[in-house]
Structure 1
């Protein structure tokens, strides 16, 4: 597989997850925090979108031969250092990584208010990153 194919594949996956999440954005905070099926779906697709975004960042780093990140969060730090993204987007995507880690490792400790807030803001931030990447590699 070529690097461009890998990037396009990651972007396609992310867009698919964001489209699914968009179906949940207009639900009430109560519906998302209290309905177990809705809560599970939102969690899962936020996790998948965030993980695919991390994978995309790592693919760009590899493609450009930037230094290897030690953590998922550092992937976005490197992209900011290399002027691919700005510091504001770096901070937002780094917060999404922290949220992803909470979903992956702390199911009993999940704050569903944070899940709701992540649903409202995370897809916009991820979409902004996708736009930057598409502009760079189109």
Structure 2
């Protein structure tokens, strides 16, 4: 399990590096280049999905059990003192962002989307 957790962390770090390289002129490219838009959304999804998968892996490794939702899984880590409660509360928002990217990405409003990115 430890190997799988470490591998997941490395993949998330890789995706974050890719996203960091997109930072310059991101809004302009997102509006004008459909391939860039797809790549950006894909890597954001992979990071957010990887994060919630990592949380579930930790719950399993620590024998805490399965949560009813991604949000609850993150919250559980905070309640148990595994991660700071305040961080867990803020970080749990990534579960909503992951669901948004998985199910509602075609309804993206640019202003709201880039606003969400600032809080994550």
> Which residue pairs with 1:132 in the alignment?
none
Which stretches of structure 1, 4 residues or more, deviate above 6 A after TM superposition? none
Scaled by the length of structure 2, the TM-score of the pair is: 0.86
The whole-number CA distance in structure 2 between the counterparts of 1:99 and 1:118 is 8
Equivalences for residues 1-138 of structure 1 within 5 A: 3-122=1-120
Larger RCO (CA under 8 A, 6+ residues apart): 1
Q: Per-residue deviation at 1:20?
A: 0.6
Give distance in 2, aligned partners of 1:12 and 1:30: 29
Distance 1:88 1:112, change over 3 A: farther
Aligned counterparts of 1:48 and 1:28: Cα–Cα separation in 2: 18
Determine the C-alpha separation between the residues in 1 that align with 2:33 and 2:117: 15
Residues matched between the structures, number: 120
Using the TM superposition, give the Cα deviation of residue 118 of structure 1 relative to its aligned residue in structure 2, in angstroms: 4.3
Is the contact made by 2:78 and 2:89 (CA closer than 8 Å) also made in structure 1?
Answer: no
Unaligned runs of 5+ in 1: 123-138
Where does structure 2 lack aligned partners over 5 or more consecutive residues?
A: none
Task: Check conservation: 2:74, 2:91, Cα contact below 8 A.
Answer: yes
Shift of 1:120: 4.5
